[in-house]
Structure 1
């Protein structure tokens, strides 16, 4: 018998070769592989979403850090300005406090063992 006659008897003559791969039995035989591919796809998508969220959080934190740096610099310059002697004098005037023009007197203690009679 020739090959054509065998194919006709087996019923495979003229069939599309792709149909052989997408038969019910073939799909059931490879169901574990399909599930594995599906799990990989879900993990891949979840990983992409987590990476995007991490990048957004890092950008948000960077913006907050810059804003806090601006606030810090502003407050620091304000404190430096207010701690100048002229500003302290100006703030103390309404309370009746004034700077004494006489320098403070330094008191020196002598040790008792240093003196000899």
Structure 2
């Protein structure tokens, strides 16, 4: 009944396989490079090559950036620990007992007499500021 369609499908599949075989044989033999359509597609090939180069360069740039971030992060950790160490040393050395101990070499002694409060009346302050 429908033998025409069955025969048509068989010939179509044979045509497809023969096209694939022809294209593969032209690729392996290198004869596809001699055709004029290759010359017309050279700008596209150059564009794809440029995109590939840019892709590779972007990969190298991102790896360099990651290495720089790691280096700066480790440097930041070192500086932070140095800051904490210096700050604790400063806090220790700025205690009254440590300052008094450090100034003994210069001949400066810690005062034993407590400080006294100076009280100035307003009248005395005016006479000192504006003499008659």
TM over 0.5: yes
CA RMSD of aligned residues (A): 2.0
Q: How far is the alpha carbon of 1:63 from its aligned partner?
A: 0.8
Out of 36, 41, 46, the residue aligned to residue 57 of structure 2 is 46
Instruction: Say if 2:27 is the partner of 1:17.
Output: no
Aligned partners of 2:114 and 2:105: how far apart in 1?
Answer: 23
The 1:92–1:16 alpha-carbon spacing in structure 2 relative to 1, beyond 3 Å, is same
Deviations 1:26-47 (A, max 9, x none): 2112111110110010000000
After superposition, residues 80-95 of structure 1 pair within 5 angstroms as 80-95=91-106
Aligned partners of 1:46 and 1:84: how far apart in 2?
Answer: 57
Which blocks of at least 5 consecutive residues in structure 2 are unaligned? 1-20, 125-132
Instruction: Report how many aligned residue pairs link the two structures.
Output: 99
Instruction: Say if 2:71 is the partner of 1:65.
Output: no
Q: How far is the alpha carbon of 1:16 from its aligned partner?
A: 2.1
Q: Which has the higher contact order (CA 8 A, sep 6+)?
A: 1
Please name the residue that 1:56 is paired with: 67
Deviations 1:35-91 (A, max 9, x none): 011001000000000000111111111111111101111110110110011111111
Instruction: Say if 2:113 is the partner of 1:102.
Output: yes
